Amino acid sequence: MSIKFYNTLTKRKDEFQSITKGEVKLYTCGPTVYDTAHIGNFRTFLFEDLLKRFLLLKGYKVTHVMNITDVDDKTILRSNSDNISIHDLTEKYIGLFFNDIQTLKIIPADYYPKATEHVPEMINMIKKLIDNGYAYKSDDNSIYFNIEKFGKYGKLANLNLAEQKKTQRIATDDYSKDSPQDFVLWKAWKKEDGKVFWESPWGKGRPGWHIECSAMSNKYLGDNFDIHCGGVDNIFPHHENEIAQSECANNKQFVNYWLHSEHLLVDGGKMSKSAGNFYKISDLIDMGFTPEALRYLLLSGHYRTNINFSVDKKHEALKVVQRINDFYERLLDLSAKCDKTGALPEAYNLFEKALDDDLNTPEALAVFFEWLRKTNAQIDDNSLKDKDIISAINFIEKFNSVFDLIAKKSDVPSKITELVKEREEAREVKDWAKADLIRDQILEMGWIIEDAADGFKIKPILEK
């Protein structure tokens, strides 16, 4: 069965063919590190993780690059207002970003190039654009891309240039999304930039945001590569401008497949600090969400539909994840006493087919849960044969290589392990009141201790 992805460039589901057999080159736009990434950013990063895990499941070798935007208008503004160097500011948020990546079990990219470490590559690309007649210098020594020179400008975002007014130039990174204008490639130094500048053939200044992804993807993946992703807000102007820069500098099609994930809404709307629903991953973990519950909530909706996040969904998500984990443990217990060979159950083909069809995760999960329900019933009435037990384990492990919803024992948060230790100490000195109090505290945080004759288990569940 062939793989199909909805390609923003062609506006239809295209059959996927990699440029080199068995290998995929993937570029995903990374975070702008002036603040902590939020749950919305992680919807996109988790979609990209799912795409990569799916390609690995299909046997591809994947080379994945994610840039880190560590210089732009926002980072400079923030470093000025917080009165710290741009380097210290961005290092802090890069550290937090990698913590969150690890928490959510996102497979790390092969390269995380930083914009500040690739300025010479960007200068070279701008030089090429000037030499090829696509870029010009303005009075203040900034360099702009002339969109009129590139006939295909607008092909990704479906813009009709003839109907647009295109007289203005845009110098900032953060500008209105509906009117195409000449955009900045190199920004001449201004007083507000302080110590943030690089020398260039056009005087001191710094690169614009778009050129960083064109230059860095080129360095690590070449002139033409397979897949480029981001959230839908990246389509215009960012990705449209990347295409213009790369294709005019290299005279080649830039990317074959463009995949974009829809936005995450929170409580039905845009997240906002004033509404108190602007969530970071660490906030949600403190509220008792497990990494698996967050993965489930963010991956169970199709990537091309809006999904609505709400903390009210915690209970339900924890329960679903618990069900999968209990089922897996049950199978492992049964497998201890049977022969280790077995194929894959029939349901697996349907599961893979759903993912082949533009990563249809809701359908893949529906197939998986239906199979889980039936298999559980077979275990209940002792009708599951030895070879079926092994093939069931094979399925759940393949399932998990894509969704990663099985919690390792060590995934219990350190705060919970500390409380469990305190509770044990209280029990040893027979301080039952204190032990009960700690147990309640653990419950409040969404975890339960199940005492047994030979010890205890800690489970992420809210049921009291």
Alpha-carbon Rg of the chain, whole angstroms? 25
Contact region with ligand AMP (CB under 6 A), list: 104-112, 157-165, 226-234, 313-321:
226-234
- Binding residues for ligand AMP, rule CB under 6 A, total 13
Q: Residue 219 — φ and ψ, nearest 5°?
A: -65, -45
User: Judging by DSSP bridges, how do beta strands 307-309 and 448-452 pair with one another?
Assistant: unpaired
| Token pair belonging to 156 | 């990704």
Q: Is the Cβ of residue 259 or residue 407 nearer to ligand AMP in the bound state? A: 259
Which 3 state secondary structure label does DSSP give 269?
Answer: strand
Where are the alpha helices (H) located in 188-343, listed in sequence order? 209-221, 240-250, 281-286, 291-299, 314-335
| Token pair belonging to 141 | 């020594």
* Cβ 100 to ligand AMP shortest distance, Å: 12
Contact region with Zn ion (CB under 5 A), list: 208-216, 251-259, 380-388, 440-448:
208-216
Does 51 bind ligand AMP (CB under 6 A)? Our answer is no
- CA pair distance 97, 38, nearest whole angstrom: 10
Contact 215, 208 (CB under 8 A): no
How many residues would you count in the chain?
464
Amino acid at 10: T
Tokens 């909805």 appear where?
6
Q: Looking only at residues 249 through 278 of this chain, which bind ligand AMP when binding is defined by CB under 6 A?
A: 263-264
Q: Backbone dihedral region of 194: left (phi > 0), alpha (psi from -120 to 50 degrees) or beta? A: left
* Cβ 1 to Zn ion shortest distance, Å: 32
The interface mask with ligand AMP, positions 337-376, x = CB under 6 A, is ----------------------------------------
Q: Looking only at residues 2 through 31 of this chain, which bind ligand AMP when binding is defined by CB under 6 A?
A: 29, 31
Contact region with Zn ion (CB under 5 A), list: 12-20, 207-215, 219-227, 443-451:
207-215
Q: Which one of Zn ion, ligand AMP, none interacts with residue 256, CB within 5 to 8 A by kind? A: none
* Cβ 230 to ligand AMP shortest distance, Å: 4
Does 230 bind ligand AMP (CB under 6 A)? Our answer is yes
* Cβ 264 to ligand AMP shortest distance, Å: 4
- CA pair distance 382, 384, nearest whole angstrom: 6
Contact region with ligand AMP (CB under 6 A), list: 5-13, 37-45, 156-164, 272-280:
37-45
Integer CA distances (angstroms), 363 to 8, 303, 370, 394, in order: 22, 12, 11, 20
* Cβ 32 to ligand AMP shortest distance, Å: 4
* Cβ 449 to Zn ion shortest distance, Å: 45
Residue nearest to ligand AMP (CB): 231
Q: Which one of ligand AMP, Zn ion, none interacts with residue 213, CB within 5 to 8 A by kind? A: Zn ion
Q: Which one of Zn ion, ligand AMP, none interacts with residue 53, CB within 5 to 8 A by kind? A: none
User: Judging by DSSP bridges, how do beta strands 455-459 and 448-452 pair with one another?
Assistant: antiparallel
Give the residue, chosen from 55, 213, 384, 419, that forms a contact with Zn ion under the rule CB under 5 A: 213
Does 32 bind ligand AMP (CB under 6 A)? Our answer is yes
Amino acid at 220: Y
Contact region with ligand AMP (CB under 6 A), list: 170-178, 225-233, 382-390, 416-424:
225-233
Secondary structure tally for the chain: helices H, strands E = 14, 15
DSSP class of 407: P
| Token pair belonging to 440 | 């309640």
* Cβ 364 to ligand AMP shortest distance, Å: 21
* Cβ 371 to ligand AMP shortest distance, Å: 30
Does 234 bind ligand AMP (CB under 6 A)? Our answer is yes
Where are the alpha helices (H) located in 107-193, listed in sequence order? 119-131
Q: Is the Cβ of residue 233 or residue 386 nearer to ligand AMP in the bound state? A: 233
Q: Which one of ligand AMP, Zn ion, none interacts with residue 41, CB within 5 to 8 A by kind? A: ligand AMP
Which 3 state secondary structure label does DSSP give 403?
Answer: helix
Give the residue, chosen from 43, 52, 314, 459, that forms a contact with ligand AMP under the rule CB under 6 A: 43
Q: Looking only at residues 170 through 199 of this chain, which bind Zn ion when binding is defined by CB under 5 A?
A: none
- CA pair distance 66, 73, nearest whole angstrom: 20
Contact 224, 253 (CB under 8 A): yes
* Cβ 87 to Zn ion shortest distance, Å: 21
Give the residue, chosen from 3, 9, 26, 29, that forms a contact with Zn ion under the rule CB under 5 A: 29
Q: Enumerate residues 6+ apart whose C-beta is below 8 A from 162.
A: none
- CA pair distance 171, 181, nearest whole angstrom: 10
Where are the alpha helices (H) located in 58-203, listed in sequence order? 73-81, 86-103, 119-131
Applying CB under 5 A, which residues contact Zn ion?
29, 213
Applying CB under 6 A, which residues contact ligand AMP?
29, 31-32, 40-41, 43-44, 230-231, 233-234, 263-264
